[in-house]
A = this chain, B = another copy of it.
């Protein structure tokens, strides 16, 4: 076996473990999640799991990183500007992946409690994403959006709407139409957007 095959298999195993962790956190939150429960889901001993992720925090970072990759449709949201239409696509896609959205929302909530291991991640993520969205909005609309807001003013609102709508949706996934609510927000940013 070549080392490339080895690492590809290792990566597949890591992905499988992260997927199991997402499910366990969606059920119990991070503080309530145990490595034993994650190990059991993938048929490993706890010792075997520690070979891939040396600590519960390392696994948490794995989960948060995977989410980031999905959220941006596989792109690097910092390097590549996203149009508002691309954001609509992300919200639409999120409405079909409840487990990861549930996990992320639970972690976001937990992260504001004392000394939470994800606190720094979310703080830095918010900074980076505000900057990236500001740049994207400026690229699409210049220094003023059609609504009159600056990109700097609109970026934190765009993030807040996405985070906030997810909670309303997670509490009523059958009846709350998250993509439609997001499109209404887009019409606030750009009154000429299609309803």
Contacts and interface: CB of A to CB of B under 8 A. Distances in A.
A159 to B, nearest CB: 7
Given A29-B31, A163-B167, A154 B114 contact: no
A87 to B, nearest CB: 14
Interface in A75-98: none
A165 interface: yes
Contacts of A130: 168
A58 to B, nearest CB: 21
Interface string A158-195: 01111111011011100010000100110111010000
Nearest to A145: B188
> Which of the four size classes fits the interface of chain A?
35 or more
A149 B187 CA distance: 8
B106 A112 contact: yes
A54 interface: no
A110 interface: yes
A161 B159 contact: no
A43 interface: no
B157 A123 contact: no
Interface in A113-163: 113-114, 119, 122-123, 126-127, 130, 147-149, 153-154, 156-157, 159-163
